[in-house]
């Protein structure tokens, strides 16, 4: 009997934010697949679900898959295909493989690349996706800043985008969400101000949201220059235009 691959979102960090459906899958899957950027680097996603796995009657197989952090497209495609092949071989034996990923599997997740390869190279393998709480919505909850009201437009941007592009995009947004790092936040403030946001626009910077090291700063754009901002990959900024 053919098995299946299930992308499981385990939320932003707090184990209590894992959905009931995700917990059920983690308690029954034959294999727990763990994505890693480096072979010797610990997995945050695994740390989030470890108590659930410890409570199982039968011990699942733990399958670590390395997805290298590189811009070499050929190397990336090779690793995606190799990992997809490993998953497919296990699925052919009838096993259910739960691929755990931070946040949601279809929102800036490593699972997206594996999912694409599975559909293209191993269409016979059944695919299922269990959504998870995203860091985006978790940060809005922590900072108590609504992402959108009425007809407002929310724009999500990664910190790797050029400043001029961010400025052009910001002209059409009511709220900006800046993902993946905070080191360029001070650089972006004048860009946002030129694009229609004001010094009094609300901003929240949340580091390691819902994790034990969580730190949230809430203020206005004019406050950012005084903030002590460290370069943490797990940081999100929400900038919301001042209500007129």
* Percent above pLDDT 90 for the chain: 80
Please write the tens of the pLDDT for every residue from 10-41. Answer: 999 999 999 999 999 999 999 999 999 888 88
CA–CA gap between residue 230 and residue 214 (Å, rounded): 13
The rounded Cα 92 to chain-centroid distance in angstroms is 29
Domains contained in the chain, CATH given: 4-130 (3.40.1010.10), 135-240 (3.30.950.10)
Give the pLDDT band (50/70/90) at residue 242: low
Tell me the pLDDT of the chain averaged across its residues.
93
Give the pLDDT band (50/70/90) at residue 243: low
Contact status, residue 74 vs residue 62, Cβ threshold 8 Å: no
Give the pLDDT band (50/70/90) at residue 98: very high
Tokens of 50: 């470890």
The pLDDT value given to residue 1: 62
CA–CA gap between residue 77 and residue 114 (Å, rounded): 10
Sequence-ordered list of residues with C-beta below 8 angstroms from that of 27, at least 6 positions apart, any chain: 52, 55, 56
Please write the tens of the pLDDT for every residue from 70-91. Answer: 888 888 899 999 999 999 999 9
Please write the tens of the pLDDT for every residue from 136-187. Answer: 999 999 999 999 999 999 999 988 888 889 899 999 999 999 998 788 899 9
């Amino acid at each position: 009997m053919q098995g299946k691959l299930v992308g499981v979102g385990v939320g932003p960090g707090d184990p209590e934010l894992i959905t009931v459906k995700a917990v059920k899958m983690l308690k029954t899957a034959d294999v727990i697949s763990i994505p890693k950027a480096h072979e010797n680097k610990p997995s945050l996603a695994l740390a989030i679900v470890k108590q659930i796995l410890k409570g199982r009657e039968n011990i699942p197989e733990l399958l670590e898959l390395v997805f290298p952090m590189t811009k070499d497209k050929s190397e990336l495609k090779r690793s995606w295909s190799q990992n997809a092949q490993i998953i497919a071989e296990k699925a052919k034996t009838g096993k259910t493989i739960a691929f755990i990923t931070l946040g949601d599997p279809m929102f800036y997740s490593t699972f997206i690349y594996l999912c694409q390869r599975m559909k293209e190279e191993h269409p016979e393998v059944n695919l299922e996706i269990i959504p998870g709480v995203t860091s985006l919505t978790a940060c809005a909850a922590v900072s108590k800043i609504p992402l959108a009201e009425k007809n407002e437009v929310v724009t999500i941007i990664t910190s790797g985008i050029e400043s001029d592009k961010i400025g052009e995009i910001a002209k059409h947004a009511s709220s900006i969400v800046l993902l993946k790092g905070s080191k360029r936040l001070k650089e972006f403030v004048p860009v946002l101000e030129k694009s229609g946001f004001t010094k009094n626009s609300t901003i929240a910077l949340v580091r390691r949201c819902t994790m034990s090291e969580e730190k949230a700063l809430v203020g206005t754009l004019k406050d950012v220059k005084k903030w002590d901002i460290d370069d943490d990959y797990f940081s999100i900024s929400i900038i919301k235009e001042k209500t007129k």
